[in-house]
Structure 1
Amino acid sequence: MEEHFVWVTTRRIRPGTLGDFEKVWRPATHPPGMRRALAYWSEDGQEITGVSFWDSKEACDSWRASDPEAQRRADMAPYVVEEREGFYQGRELAIPSGSPG
């Protein structure tokens, strides 16, 4: 099974700032080593979870230490109330076919 390297960040943002937050949240350039990224919003628009898939932990760490990422994080700071983040390694789970018996 293919292993995945995943960075997950969940941010709670100030009420009513989702539109402004989104303008500064997306990176200006495609980070080297990032395969894809997904974003999920809570119904109230105050919590956003970003999930990014990387070639390796080193590629993710390199981006996170870069000047463009530091600037992006500084631009987001006025909107962020709380932030949780972590790096994970894993794989896709196979879902059994057929109906429960």
Structure 2
Amino acid sequence: MEEHFVWVTTRHLRPGTLEGFERAWQPATPPEGMRRAFAYWSEDGREITGVSFWDSKDACDSWRASDPEAQRRAAMAPYVLEEREGFYRGRELAIPHHS
């Protein structure tokens, strides 16, 4: 099974700031080494979880230490109340199908 390198960030937002946050959140250029990215919002728009898939931990670390990422984080900061993040390794699970 293919191994994945994944960065997950969950942010709690100030009420009514989802639209502004989304504008600040989008990177100006696609990060090198990022394969795919997903965003998931809570129903009330107060929590957002980003999941990105990377070529390697080094590729993710390199982006996280870059100037564009620092600028992006500074732009997001006014909207964010709390943030949790972490890097993970894993794989897709095989789901058995019942007939």
Q: Same fold (TM over 0.5)?
A: yes
Corresponding residue number in structure 2 for 1:21: 21
| Stretches (4+) displaced over 3 A | none
Instruction: Name the aligned partner's letter for residue 44 of structure 2.
Output: D
**TM-score of the pair, normalised by structure 1:** 0.97
Corresponding residue number in structure 2 for 1:75: 75
Corresponding residue number in structure 2 for 1:66: 66
Corresponding residue number in structure 1 for 2:88: 88
Distance in 2 (alpha carbons) for counterparts of 1:43 and 1:94 = 28
Any gaps of 5 or more consecutive residues in structure 1?
none
Cα RMSD (Å) of the superposition?
0.6
Percent identity between the aligned chains?
A: 83
Instruction: Name the aligned partner's letter for residue 5 of structure 1.
Output: F
SS of the equivalent of 1:78 reads helix
Distance in 2 (alpha carbons) for counterparts of 1:58 and 1:17 = 32
Q: CA deviation at 1:97?
A: 1.4
**TM-score of the pair, normalised by structure 2:** 0.98
Aligned length: 99
Distance in 2 (alpha carbons) for counterparts of 1:26 and 1:11 = 14
